[in-house]
Amino acid sequence: MDKIDALINETPAITDLQKTFYKTMLTVRKERILDKSMELLREKERNQD
């Protein structure tokens, strides 16, 4: 996420409010979609062993 945050911060065409919005939105989506999926997959793998 650090590289994505840096990319957003370096984008000159958007306001600070937009930068904050994009970083927050992407962080929350990552947590709720990708992190949750990884957690479920790991649980499934543990239960198969």
What is the structure's pLDDT at 26? 97
Could you list the residue range(s) of the whole structural domain that residue 31 is in? 2-48
What does each C-alpha distance from 21 to 7, 14, 15, 16, 32 come to in angstroms? 14, 11, 10, 9, 16
Count of domains for the chain: 1
Q: What is the pLDDT of residues 5-30, one digit of tens each?
A: 999 999 999 999 999 999 999 999 99
Question: Would the pTM count as exceeding 0.85?
Answer: no
